[in-house]
Structure 1
Amino acid sequence: MARFQLKIIGGKYRRRGLFSNPGMTTRPIANRMKEFLFEELRYNIPDARVLDAFAGTGTIGLEALSRGAKSVVFIEQDHKAFELLNQNIGRLEVESETFAWRSNILRSSFLPKGFDDFVPYDLMFFDPPYPMVPGMSAKDPLYKTLERVARDTVSSHEAVLLFRTERKTDFEIPPEWTVVDELTVSSSTMYFYRKTDSLESEPATTETAAEEADTEE
């Protein structure tokens, strides 16, 4: 039976309970990682258009919404998880700011019809089942999915991709994405990616320029 196991930990819905089911195969993110993650993203969240892929019962996307995200598209295929996701959306009364999409992520266009204002995404959370990730390479459906979400019609030029895996997992990522940070808590690691072409087009920061100047002396 579903019950309140999880809570929003920050923002306007702080301490509001969320439905979860201890018997499900979804892996809700630990509060400790959630705290670190959203502290790292504090400047990215306000007014962001968010994608919560492999959403489970929606804890990450709803946390982002609580902290000021503009909209969230949730994608989840499992029937029971999707049912609880919709209950959580209703509990917070955020139907107008969200779209819950029951779909196979590996085949999704990521562009829900009638929700043009919800894309392109500025923040994308991917939390695939751990067995999908080890040894991932260009031939795998998940790899091809990460290629698709790099398209400009799907994600903004400055988009941030968050990808959660079991710690110490080896896998390949499409060249369209470059890792810029990572966060390991307990048995899982969250990788932060930016679009490679957005990093290449950024001017050197003042700090970097100063470091280069020191090197030349």
Structure 2
Amino acid sequence: MPQIFHRSMNTFSKVTIFGGLLLCVAIAFAWDQFNRSAYVTEADVVRDQPIPFSHDHHVSGLGIDCRYCHTTVETSASAGVPATEVCMSCHSQIWKDSPMLAPVRESFRTGQPIEWTRVHDVPDFVYFNHSIHVAKGIGCESCHGRVDRMPLMRRAHTLQMGWCLDCHRQPEKFIRDPSKIYQFGSVAETSPDEVTQLMHSFKIDAHQLLDCGTCHR
């Protein structure tokens, strides 16, 4: 039987098949990197706010405890955004005529809440509760990063499922003494012996943390 295709087509076929497979792998890798990029996750991207509030100044500079502004972090699913009255408890005396704080004074005068741009948010199909994380020894720094070094607030992490699972798989890497929940940096480090005791006292079951129903209800 006469040969229909030239012998070079054998090589062409192999190159096409393996090239196609490599292209699929490259596309999958590129898509994964795109989904992890700041463009999608908004990690390390500073969001515009009506007032350039500095956690660096208030937390690191003035030593204000997180709970002074985020009043429901220990009792509710939401940490809470401070009411204008909380801001004015200081700024009725300090920087009370600053042009930068004009929106705060206007909000206080009219009773209209300041419309802050939310920085940390998870999809509606994800259940997250601040109070249980705090009660189980997870500090603010674990999720929000070094906010004491942030002149303007930004996400320190992707908030994607893989990032959450990293903690749920090995909670011992993040747990700390309750007295250090609101501390940042090296002062919040917890020794291995303390971690073992805390895991036992908090009754933390890593297997239960990996159950789908823990976050998707």
Greater fraction of residues in strand? 1
Instruction: From the CA coordinates, give the structure whose radius of gyration is larger.
Output: 2
Is TM-score (shorter-chain normalized) higher than 0.5?
no
Greater fraction of residues in helix? 2
Name the TM-score, length of structure 1 as normaliser: 0.22
The structure, 1 or 2, with the larger RCO (C-alpha pairs under 8 Å, 6+ apart) is: 2
